[in-house]
């Protein structure tokens, strides 16, 4: 069991009905997506057509920030404040969709954009699954 998988089981507070496996998966997926998006932005910056990739770079960097924030917030023992959890999950889902769509348009720029698209789609789905389990 990884630390991320273990963390939700160690919670002292929080909603008792939360699916701990989905929570752990979402936290892990957020951090993986952030790392993949950061690597994609870096690769885009070194591309010959960097000027054409400006929107892609900005979107991937936005995704990094939102995914890191979401992962950190979800990893906290948030008590009964489900409103914040819902809000960050919706924001993360939206930015992951935007980033995946943008990177998909630039898949010819390199494998990094393909990998970023895949990571963002996984994170978008993990956020959707966790939101659905929360009701």
| Tens-binned pLDDT, residue by residue, of the chain (135 aa) | 454 544 554 554 555 578 889 999 999 999 999 999 999 999 999 988 889 999 999 999 999 999 999 999 999 865 557 889 999 999 999 999 999 999 999 988 789 999 999 999 999 999 999 999 987
CA 76/CA 36 separation, integer angstroms:
23
CA 70/CA 87 separation, integer angstroms:
9
Q: What is the pLDDT of residue 12?
A: 44
pTM for this model (two decimals) = 0.87
Count of C-beta atoms within a 10 Å radius of residue 42: 13
With vertex at residue 1, the alpha carbon angle to CA 133 and CA 10, rounded to the nearest 5 degrees, is: 60
Q: What is the pLDDT of residue 7?
A: 52
């Amino acid at each position: 069991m990884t630390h991320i998988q273990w963390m939700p089981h160690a919670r002292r507070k929080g909603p008792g009905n939360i699916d701990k496996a989905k929570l752990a998966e979402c936290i892990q997926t957020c951090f993986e997506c952030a790392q993949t998006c950061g690597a994609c932005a870096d690769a885009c910056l070194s591309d010959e057509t960097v000027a054409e990739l400006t929107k892609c770079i900005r979107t991937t960097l936005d995704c990094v920030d939102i995914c890191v924030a979401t992962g950190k917030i979800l990893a906290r023992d948030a008590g009964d404040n489900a409103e914040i959890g819902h809000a960050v999950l919706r924001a993360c889902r939206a930015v992951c969709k935007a980033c995946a769509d943008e990177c998909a348009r630039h898949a010819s720029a390199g494998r990094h954009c393909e990998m970023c698209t895949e990571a963002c789609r996984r994170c978008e789905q993990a956020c959707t699954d966790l939101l659905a389990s929360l009701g």
